[in-house]
A and B are shown apart, each in its own frame.
Chain A
Amino acid sequence: LAKTTQPISMDSYEGQEVNITCSHNNIATNDYITWYQQFPSQGPRFIIQGYKTKVTNEVASLFIPADRKSSTLSLPRVSLSDTAVYYCLVGGNYGQNFVFGPGTRLSVLP
């Protein structure tokens, strides 16, 4: 399973765009990149998944460069309720299982 590295914490202000970058140098050819969000005392929640280039949904965008050795989760115009831990995960192929790292603790300030 590919190891991921992401910042331990980030601060932002309401209304700003937040970009969280994850490094995954050893990503395998058929690995997908998946991001989860977790609020305190709740289970993680799937945000977005991608393989290459850009993926966008109603919550976030995911940018993946051609070499796929990193990815960036972009949260547009964050609000206080976006304060959470964000996990970057790589893999998930049949038979594999997620390895959750420490994630990035995002604090959105008023």
Chain B
Amino acid sequence: DSGVTQTPKHLITATGQRVTLRCSPRSGDLSVYWYQQSLDQGLQFLIHYYNGEERAKGNILERFSAQQFPDLHSELNLSSLELGDSALYFCASRQAERYNEQFFGPGTRLTVL
């Protein structure tokens, strides 16, 4: 158990819909990262938040957005869903000074039908 929690574990929805994925980082961690892992694309970095502020963006689509709240939990919003958005979505957190050691959550498996 990494200490990072994600909900829900599984999500099945239809094309065109909108979903919200939730992540709670480890206690004390201020950084939250979001990743997408699909079969044909591998693990793709989406976005990084630090203490409520966006720090970096990766391959995140305009239909996707995220935020980190004052209690440090984070939400990833996916809208106008397409079949190709079906993937595992992971969030990770890390301690402030240990830049390379990220702790990943169990992931949310999104299936778009």
Contacts and interface: CB of A to CB of B under 8 A. Distances in A.
B11 interface: no
Contact of B100 (A45, A92, A95, A99): A92
Interface stretch (B12-20, B40-48, B62-70, B73-81): B40-48
Interface SS of A by simple majority: loop
Contact of B105 (A32, A43, A92, A97): A43
B58 A34 contact: no
Interface residues of A, number: 24
B92 A49 contact: no
Nearest to A100: B43
A93 B99 contact: yes
Contacts, number: 57
B45 A95 contact: no
Nearest to B57: A97
Contacts of A89: 100
Interface of A: 32, 34, 38, 41-46, 49, 87, 89, 92-103
Interface of B: 2, 4, 33, 35, 42-45, 48, 55-56, 58, 88, 90, 92, 99-107, 109
Given A41-B88, A49-B101, A100-B44, 19 more contacts: A34-B100, A41-B107, A41-B109, A43-B4, A43-B90, A43-B104, A43-B105, A44-B43, A44-B90, A45-B2, A45-B104, A46-B102, A49-B100, A92-B99, A94-B99, A95-B55, A96-B56, A97-B56, A100-B42
